[in-house]
Amino acid sequence: MKQIVKIITKKDFSSFVNSLINDKTYDVVGVVEKGKRYVFDTLSSAKELQLDYDVTILPPKKYFLPQTESLLTFSLEKPFDGKETLDDTPRIIIGVHPYDIIALEQTDRHYLDQQQDNFYKKRRENTIIIGVDIKNVSDQSFAASMETNVTDSGFDLLLTDIGINYAVTIGSEKGTRLLEKYATAENASNSDLKKIITVRNAVAKKYKQKVNIDKKDWSSLLVANYNHAIWEEHSDVCMECSSCTMVCPTCFCYDVKDNVSLNLKEGTRVRTWDGCMLKEFTKVGSGEVFREEVKERYRHRFFRKGNYLPERYGFVACVGCGRCGSACLPDIADPCNLINELGHFNSEENTGKYFIKEETEVLERGIIHVPRSATIKKIIPFNEIDTLFEIELDDKKPLGHKPGQFVEVSIFGYGEAPFGISTPPGNSPVFEIMVRQVGNVTKRLCLLQPGDKVGIRGPLGNGFDVKTFEGKTLLFTSGGTGMVPMRSLINHILDPKQRPKFKDIIILYGAKRPKEITFMNDVDRWKKVSNVQCELTVDRCEPSECWDGCTGLITTLFPKIKADKIDSKNTIAVVIGPPVMYKFVIKCLQTLGVPDNNIYVSLERRMKCGVGKCGHCQMNGVYVCKEGPVFNYGKLKQLPEAFE
């Protein structure tokens, strides 16, 4: 579509900016000098604007996803009082370069998909972007190679310096209105339009950095080199500072935590930038860190940009601004250098896939990160670390979950944590979770009393598609807290209305010690149901503990399966347990002849948002919280990070 272009003198543009500032309707932000560098900051006068800058220290993403932002405020004096804090400041950002505009469009794809992030959305709606064509190229930038040095979308107005005038390309109705209200601009002539092209072509020649590999080929180049020594060689000098992710306009992972005010009466749930280069990013309750080595985190960052997001959204998530290259002291973060270096190697053949496309309906109700009020009805301690909670949603609406889904449970002042739902689906607002005390939220939860309030988000994740299990023998293997979602599944299947749809059922359950066996009442009940074989084991047993059952790892239970029960091709196996368990159990299942496509697993990863936004649970290109936690092993086994 042909865009309308207006012409405004530079003097009139300054008056336009001053009028915007004086109007006080908007927070008017622009590029200003900071020492020898440039930053986006609030303007007090048009004189401060530096539209011939090369690059800013931080991209304008800080106005849409601030370094720290309040998601909700809460009172600690009232039973449940959380209010979302949507920032609706109208803002105008002046001087955004095309690569940063394109980075924002990429962020939109992630934050404004089917589960929209209201906080981000509100800021996007309330912000007017006045872009500017690049005049001076940063030494580190390779935007021309990424085709992000110019753009014809994503702005409301876009300036091009064509001498004594600015050419102003109109990008939206909002841009037209702003220009009409605060300035007088004439239509551009053909010679003005030619000047825009001349200026852009001249600037495109100024780039010192060039990527030699076309961006559409980054993905296959990375895949071919997944196991290359380069990841280790480069990351050897990595300081794990995560500066590369912080300055990047296309890095948008975050953390969420509760800050309590000094008077201990109220607090704020805040979202802060987080980075996949940090070790804690993937650490879970069992102590497991899913990308333990620096080289794995270093590689993840490049794969996220060049393979995972391209597979998901169709774009390379690097716009070539060069900020990471400038920010990295050991000089190993720049994708231009890395991709060029990889391009020199005769890549080994590696056909691995690092993304599996799963169509999942995102089921979160209400606003992202804002929980619903619920009341603890019953608390049943199983042992000193595991406690069962019966919870009722205060709106009395059914939770509406499938077996295998989870909820995020909030305690204001302490935070939020994900827990599997242990009750079968139904029409009740009451459901159960089992909590193992490992840290802040879980320990606090276990100090609550019946009648106390918690926040609930969910149900989240995909859950099991139980219909596909019909007519099959079912073999359930669970370890530790894996029994929580497994109990939901088993009790659903053993429901008299459901039971006739399935053949024999074998349940294998392992706990570390006898006292860590949970849901013993259910286990006793299951043992009495005909055509159900239920076997238990514990890893170890102290002399003081009473246990006359099997001792040994969960795999020791497999020889106990009655041979006549297993028609391997017609058996569906479900495995849920600690990460270390999967490899061994899957080997046993394969020995029994169960096809990989008949095996389902539910995975635990570090989770914060639960809806595919914050990046914590990412496993190669897959968001476990959204595309999982339930996966078909046949599909999942190709993802290197799933079981390594």
Ligand X SMILES: Cc1cc2nc3c(=O)[nH]c(=O)nc-3n(C[C@H](O)[C@H](O)[C@H](O)COP(=O)(O)OP(=O)(O)OC[C@H]3O[C@@H](n4cnc5c(N)ncnc54)[C@H](O)[C@@H]3O)c2cc1C
Residues making contact with ligand SF4 (CB under 6 A): 238-244, 247-250, 277, 305, 318-324, 327-328, 330, 332-333, 335
Q: Which of 271, 613, 629, 636 binds ligand X (CB under 6 A)?
A: 629
Q: Which is nearer to ligand SF4, 103 or 511 (CB)?
A: 103
116: helix, strand or coil: coil
**Backbone φ and ψ of 432, nearest 5°:** -125, 150
Question: Does residue 273 contact residue 62 with C-beta atoms inside 8 Å?
Answer: no
Residue from 100, 311, 432, 604 touching ligand X (CB under 6 A): that is 604
Short-list 181, 165, 184, CA closest to 173? 181
- Between CA 337 and CA 341 the distance in angstroms is 6
Non-local (6+) Cβ contacts of 33 within 8 A are 48, 50
Judged by beta carbon, residue 105 or residue 358, the one nearer ligand X is 358
CB of 418 to ligand FES, least distance (A): 8
* Residue 446 makes contact with ligand X by CB under 6 A: no
The partner in contact with residue 381, picked from ligand SF4, ligand FES, ligand X, none with C-beta cut-offs of 5 to 8 angstroms by kind, is none
Of 405, 540, 550, the closest CA to residue 463 belongs to 405
Which of 10, 12, 193, 285 forms a contact with ligand X (CB under 6 A)? 285
d(CA 555, CA 37): 61
613 binds ligand FES (CB under 6 A): yes
Interface with ligand FES includes 338 (CB under 6 A)? no
Query: Strand (E) positions, 429-472?
Result: 430-436, 453-460
* Strands 372-381 and 386-393, sheet pairing: antiparallel
636 CB contacts (<8 Å, ≥6 apart)?
356, 601, 642
Closest approach, Cβ 372 to ligand X, in A, equals: 18
* Least Cβ distance, residue 202 to ligand SF4 (angstroms): 22
Q: Give strand pairing partners of 454.
A: 374
608 binds ligand FES (CB under 6 A): yes
Closest CA to 372 of 416, 422, 414: 416
Is residue 310 close enough to count as binding ligand FES by CB under 6 A?
Answer: no
* Contacted entry of ligand FES, ligand X, ligand SF4, none for residue 243, CB cut-off 5 to 8 Å set by kind: ligand SF4
- Our CA dihedral for 612, 613, 617, 622, rounded to 10 degrees, sits at 50
Stretch that binds ligand FES, among 194-202, 473-481, 561-569, 617-625 (CB under 6 A): 617-625
User: Could you tell me the smallest distance in angstroms from the CB atom of residue 77 to ligand X?
Assistant: 22
Considering only the stretches 349-357, 514-522, 525-533, 615-623, report the one whose residues sit in contact with ligand FES under the rule CB under 6 A: 615-623
Task: Classify residue 448 by burial, with Cβ atoms within 10 Å: 0-12, 13-18, 19+.
Answer: middle
How crowded is residue 4: how many other Cβ atoms within 10 Å of its Cβ? 13
Pairing type for strands 186-187 and 254-260 reads unpaired
Q: CA separation (Å) from 634 to 62, 104, 601, 638?
A: 41, 36, 10, 8
**Considering beta carbons, is residue 171 or 629 the nearer one to ligand FES?**
629
Residue number, 439 or 593, with CB nearest to ligand FES: 439
Which CB contacts under 8 angstroms, 24+ apart, belong to 375-381? 375/451, 375/452, 375/453, 375/454, 376/448, 376/449, 376/450, 376/451, 376/452, 376/453, 376/454, 377/430, 377/450, 378/450, 379/448, 379/449, 379/450, 381/446
420 touches ligand FES (CB under 6 A): no
Q: Any contact of residue 630 with ligand FES (CB under 6 A)?
A: no
Give the C-alpha separation, 219 to 213, whole Å.
Answer: 10
> Closest distance between ligand FES and the C-beta of residue 402, in Å?
18
Q: Give least dist CB 400 to ligand X, A.
A: 17
In the list ligand FES, ligand X, ligand SF4, none, the entry touching 419 (Cβ below 5 to 8 angstroms by class) is: ligand X
The Cα–Cα gap between 310 and 381 comes to 47
C-beta of 247 vs 614, nearer to ligand FES: 614
419 binds ligand X, rule: CB under 6 A: yes
**Minimal CA–CA distance to 420: which of 407, 411, 401?**
407
Q: Which of 612, 621, 628, 629 binds ligand FES (CB under 6 A)?
A: 612
* Binding partner of residue 74 among ligand FES, ligand X, ligand SF4, none, CB cut-off 5 to 8 Å per kind: none
* The entry of ligand SF4, ligand FES, ligand X, none that residue 623 binds, CB within 5 to 8 Å by partner kind: ligand FES
Rounded least distance, CB 234 to ligand FES, Å:
26
Residues at the contact surface with ligand FES, assessed by CB under 6 A: 607-610, 612-617, 623, 625
Residues at the contact surface with ligand X, assessed by CB under 6 A: 283-285, 287, 406, 415, 417-420, 433-436, 438-442, 481, 484, 604-608, 629
